[in-house]
């Protein structure tokens, strides 16, 4: 397969960790439930392709996300390969944490909202009530030696509330990190963010003591800005980027949210900049094609379309 010409850019990191969310954030938005055996195979293929960090599933009520109701069965199929510190699972509350701990997981993620409307739609709680729910989850998880990630959604805009003040995002993010979380993921849930907005938010977080080394970015590509926003974050010092193989995903509670940044598109861009990821792009594209066939529709990833449909000789 063809590769981009490598031309480095000053100020960019030498290596980026891709936090793969396809099996969780990607598949949770599918209209049909993917068989659990296929989910396990998907994760195995992603790991074999060099994606070291893969968020596998979510321990939420089946009534919330029926597509991920098989979380315990999935982890049982994966065995030890699904339980390390680089195989986080999403948990909303202490009940979810109990279920995750019963499966022997070593990393969890909580998911909050920068806005009141989305907090109610996603968690059926206010922001304040959400914080009260998260605190014992983080405390117990840390006491058990787990790695904990904090997601904050609607950081760059909300479909119901419109623009979201940066100070409001910083306040929610700071409160979640003050609970003892190891990493913060900034979510552009509806994909409306732009590069200047990314830089201003990262600057504001830094002034509150949350530096780029503790931050991951999670951009949706609704308006075609995900890759540009990611590069802006990398130039600011961020080295963890959330992405979804094949561009799968969205948000079941925000109808305007389309897919995540495609992992293949990210790898292509980083490869061209000489930034290491450890990912085998050929194997990743093959995995995307396989999953797209399982879902019965083509992958939205531009790189998958280009490479899977070419002979690799670079002809136009």
CA pair distance 163, 175, nearest whole angstrom: 21
208 CB contacts (<8 Å, ≥6 apart)? 170, 173, 174
In the residue annotation, 251 being an active-site residue is answered as: yes
27 CB contacts (<8 Å, ≥6 apart)? 34, 39, 42, 67, 68, 248, 249
Q: What are phi and psi of 108, to 5 degrees?
A: -135, 165
Count CB atoms within 10 A of the CB of residue 297.
9
Do 181 and 136 form a contact (C-beta atoms < 8 A)?
Answer: no
- Beta strand 17-20 with 89-90 is unpaired
Catalytic residue among 119, 212, 251, 281: 251
Closest to 169 (Cα-Cα) out of 186, 192, 150: 186
Q: What are phi and psi of 242, to 5 degrees?
A: -80, 140
CA pair distance 66, 62, nearest whole angstrom: 4
Q: So which residues are the catalytic ones?
A: 251
């Amino acid at each position: 397969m063809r590769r981009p010409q490598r031309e480095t850019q000053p100020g960019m990191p030498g290596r980026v960790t891709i936090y793969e969310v396809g099996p969780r954030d990607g598949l949770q938005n599918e209209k049909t439930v993917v068989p659990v055996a296929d989910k396990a195979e998907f994760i195995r293929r992603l790991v074999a392709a060099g994606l070291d960090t893969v968020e596998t599933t979510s321990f939420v009520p089946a009534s919330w996300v029926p597509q991920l109701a098989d979380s315990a069965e999935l982890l049982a199929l994966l065995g030890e390969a699904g339980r390390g510190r680089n195989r986080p699972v999403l948990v909303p509350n202490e009940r979810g944490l109990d279920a995750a701990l019963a499966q022997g997981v070593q990393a969890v993620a909580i998911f909050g909202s920068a806005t009141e409307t989305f907090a109610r739609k996603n968690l059926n709680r206010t922001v304040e009530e959400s914080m009260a729910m998260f605190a014992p989850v983080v405390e117990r998880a840390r006491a058990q030696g787990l790695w904990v990630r904090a997601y904050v959604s609607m950081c760059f805009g909300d479909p119901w509330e419109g623009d979201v003040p940066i100070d409001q995002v910083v306040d929610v993010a700071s409160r979640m990190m003050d609970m003892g979380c190891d990493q913060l993921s900034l979510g552009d849930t509806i994909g409306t963010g732009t590069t200047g907005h990314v830089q201003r938010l990262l600057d504001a977080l830094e002034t509150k003591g949350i530096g780029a080394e503790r931050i991951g970015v999670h951009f949706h590509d609704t308006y075609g800005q995900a890759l540009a926003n990611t590069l802006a974050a990398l130039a600011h010092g961020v080295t963890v980027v959330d992405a979804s193989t094949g561009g799968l995903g969205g948000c079941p509670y925000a109808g305007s949210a389309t897919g995540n940044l495609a992992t293949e598109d990210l790898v292509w861009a980083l490869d061209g900049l000489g930034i290491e990821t450890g990912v085998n792009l050929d194997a990743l594209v093959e995995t995307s094609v396989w999953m797209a066939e399982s879902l019965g529709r083509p992958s939205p990833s531009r790189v998958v379309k280009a490479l899977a449909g070419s002979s690799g000789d670079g002809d136009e």
